Structure 1
Amino acid sequence: MKNPKTLVRRTPWPETASRPVGTPLQPSVVYASESPDALDAQYEGRTRGYSYAREGHPNADVLAQKIDALEGAEGGIVLGSGMAAVTAALMGVLKSGDHVVGGDQLYGRSLRLLTQDLPRFGVTTGFAPVTDAARFAAALRPTTRMILLEVVSNPTLRVADIEGIARLARERGILLVVDNTFTTPRAIRPFEHGADIVLHSVTKLLAGHSDATLGYVAAQDPALRQKIRDFAVTTGLTPSPFDCWLAERGLYSFELRYDRAEATAAKLADALAGLDGVARVLYPGRTDHPDHMRAEILLGSRCGNMVTFELDGGREAANAFVRAAGDIPFAPTLGDIGTTISHPATSSHRALSPEARAALGITEGTFRISVGVEPAEVLIDEIATAVQATL
């Protein structure tokens, strides 16, 4: 009988003359090398290999390369969440004494990072309206090292003057970081508009199925790229191989999902604008959007799958709307294959005071709809029925 102790020895992967069509899932935490010399060669960049999953693994690299291709980037890295990408981009580059200016309508946790966490490490922060580069310039200081903005803001869908701000950043020697989660490279590739660093919450539209939590960050400058990577590895912002595998699978349908949802979003926005009980509708593709002209120039017809609207009646109407839209998930997310509804006042922007939310145009009646791939007529009927319940 064979010695049972051999069962604990790892069996080499079977050699085969063929290759898998689907990407294999490789959850191994560690990788064995042939010798100390071979491991030296890996760490010194003379050969390519893996050693420890916190420093990189095949599923993360496969996914990163595919997002690189979408963004026109090189050397992007996949991290454990969208906020891990934001954190690595900022903390990997900034130092005590630096100043950061953020767009005035960043994602809620990005706002918290800038207002509460960075100051603890000696990094000062400020905010400015991204729709006007001239006003944005007033927020800059001699110590400003970085600008962080979203091309289309959450949740009021304001469109950044990215060309003007990029020009400003270039003239002042300031790094421009763009969160492209909302718009995605299907609508805009920020590197082509002057960005130095681009990041994503892959969790959202790129992965698209609400079953993988991941982020992505890429930098134009290899030196910046290395700083971000070193910080991410040191602090353990490691992505799960399984989540990377799921996200890669979701990415294959990304363009189909995006195009279908975008077409439906435009129809939904028009339908909402004609309903009693709706105070206003925000969609960059509509001529009544405050940044419609800029959206046309910057995004063309790619106005995305997000629709924001405001109900008359405040919190009472908001509760009635959600209860009546029972088949549509009320959840603080976006980018799922199915439509979801979120209420910024109680989710993404709940940390702000009512006055601060009001200054951004967020009321108790404000909702953001992340449109999915359902038939347009079905979704419009469901939303219209729910709005009717608020009257």
Structure 2
Amino acid sequence: MTRNSKGSLVRPYPLPQSASTPVVTPLSPSVVYASETPDALDDQYEGRVHGYTYSREGHPNADVVAQRLDALEGAEGGVLTGSGMSAVSAVLLGLLKTGDHVVGGNQLYGRSLRMMKEDLPRLGIATTLADPGDVAAVAAAIRPETRLVLIEVVSNPTLRVADLDGLAALCREKGVLLAVDNTFTTPKAIRPFEHGANIVIHSVTKLLSGHSDVMLGYVVARDPALNERLRVFAVTAGLTPSPFDCWLAERGMLTFDLRFDRAQATAVALADHLAALPGVRRVIYPLRADHPDHARAAGLLGQRGCNMVSFELTGGRAAANAFTRGAEGLSFAPTLGDVGTTLSHPASSSHRALSAEERAALGLSEGFFRVSVGLEEPEALKAVFTEAVAAAAAVS
């Protein structure tokens, strides 16, 4: 407790007391928190009372957002981190050790793939990639030293749907942890713990906060002991998020349900519209009957196809350049979940580190785009895409 008896001290004044409480969560940017005595500090560190000491170890704004996310996922004790990839890192680096083996989905986000293929092996952690829609393929990849399987419910950017129930059963049988990145789908579409997952990961940067002005991640385990290991690693590695980003994220999450429903409804309409345009080779959206995993998507997601649509132009890089130039008013940017629709070109952004042959194996041609549908009026969005696809077709 800061004393206020010496007016000449730099920080002598306590917070003003009030009989009322703020409606909006206060922003708490303080890096440090003062305790009254060493005994009081012991009480905090040893868990007899709750309090804050140093913001790298936790702060009020992070706890508020973590509690909101816990409620969405049906979890307890989630850990907020500085980005989605730091949440992935907390799992892979905080729970695995040299000599362990991890299986990853073969269509993970590009940076997750890079970590699996380059960083973990450098640390003596072996990795294998397998199709998460094929339980037999994942089973064949599991070894005696396998400790964890990491998948996305819906893959980035090809929107393939994992066999979540089958993989959960396999991991239970083998005694392996199943970690699920739920960023694309969000808890509005699916709650992985209800399907047998052990760990859930989010890039809160995306649709949950929803305004492209926040960088945050979140990870939570079903087992409290695993949660504690994740928390300790995050604190030690300095993965703690800033209070301001947490404060902004909470504001964004207040409208998450509304934004999800609006963007998803528009995504359904846009996917059907794109499929009818000359110059579009294919459209990928989980609720469409021509999606390769349509039956599985219906079983897992019901009518929650989410706000992501992927499609492929008939042309190559020249057509891709013409398309982005023609998509007037839309942001060509490697992100998703914004209030405005954004376009992503995996070959030049998220998956640029892969070879051309590796991208081709995933179906990521130069004409492949991922669309994160925002809150625009559907008819206005259709008009923009019609013009942009026509511009691409003109150079194909």
Q: Which residue of 1 is the match for residue 278 of structure 2?
A: 276
**How far apart in 2 are the matches of 1:96 and 1:156?**
32
Structure 1 residue 4 displacement after superposition = 11
Q: Which runs of 5+ in 1 are unaligned?
A: none
**How far apart in 1 are the matches of 2:143 and 2:362?**
24
TM-score (norm 2): 0.97
Give % identity.
68
How do 1:51-130 residues align onto structure 2 when only pairs under 5 Å count? 51-130=53-132
**How far apart in 1 are the matches of 2:117 and 2:7?**
56
4+ residue runs over 4 A deviation: none
**How far apart in 1 are the matches of 2:118 and 2:218?**
23
Match for residue 239 of structure 2 among 233, 237, 241: 237
**How far apart in 2 are the matches of 1:14 and 1:112?**
50
**How far apart in 2 are the matches of 1:317 and 1:119?**
37
- The residue matched to 1:97 in structure 2 has which SS? coil
Matched, 1:190 2:178: no
- The residue matched to 2:261 in structure 1 has which SS? helix
Q: Which residue of 2 is the match for residue 163 of structure 1?
A: 165
Match for residue 332 of structure 2 among 300, 318, 330: 330
**How far apart in 2 are the matches of 1:7 and 1:384?**
66
Amino acid at match of 2:79: I
TM-score (norm 1): 0.98
Matched, 1:252 2:261: no
* Paired residues of 2:285 and 2:291 also in contact (CA < 8 A): yes
Aligned length: 389
Structure 1 residue 9 displacement after superposition = 1.8
**What do residues 1-21 of structure 1 show as CA deviations (whole Å, max 9, x unaligned)?**
xx9982612421111110000
Amino acid at match of 1:133: V
**How far apart in 1 are the matches of 2:26 and 2:137?**
50
- The residue matched to 1:204 in structure 2 has which SS? coil
RMSD, aligned CA: 1.1
**What do residues 133-165 of structure 1 show as CA deviations (whole Å, max 9, x unaligned)?**
112211111111000000000111000001111
Distance 1:7 1:324, change over 3 A: farther
Matched, 1:376 2:374: no
**How far apart in 2 are the matches of 1:66 and 1:330?**
31
Amino acid at match of 2:200: V
Amino acid at match of 1:24: P
* Paired residues of 2:6 and 2:12 also in contact (CA < 8 A): no
Q: Which residue of 2 is the match for residue 135 of structure 1?
A: 137
Structure 1 residue 326 displacement after superposition = 2.7
Q: Which residue of 2 is the match for residue 204 of structure 1?
A: 206
Amino acid at match of 2:273: A
**How far apart in 2 are the matches of 1:271 and 1:195?**
35
Q: Which runs of 5+ in 2 are unaligned?
A: none
Structure 1 residue 23 displacement after superposition = 0.3
Q: Which residue of 2 is the match for residue 36 of structure 1?
A: 38
Distance 1:123 1:10, change over 3 A: farther
Amino acid at match of 2:256: F
Matched, 1:313 2:330: no
**How far apart in 2 are the matches of 1:247 and 1:191?**
23
Q: Which residue of 1 is the match for residue 50 of structure 2?
A: 48
- The residue matched to 2:200 in structure 1 has which SS? strand
**How far apart in 2 are the matches of 1:140 and 1:335?**
33
Q: Which residue of 1 is the match for residue 344 of structure 2?
A: 342
- The residue matched to 1:389 in structure 2 has which SS? helix
Matched, 1:180 2:154: no
Structure 1 residue 374 displacement after superposition = 0.7
- The residue matched to 1:102 in structure 2 has which SS? strand
**How far apart in 1 are the matches of 2:303 and 2:8?**
62
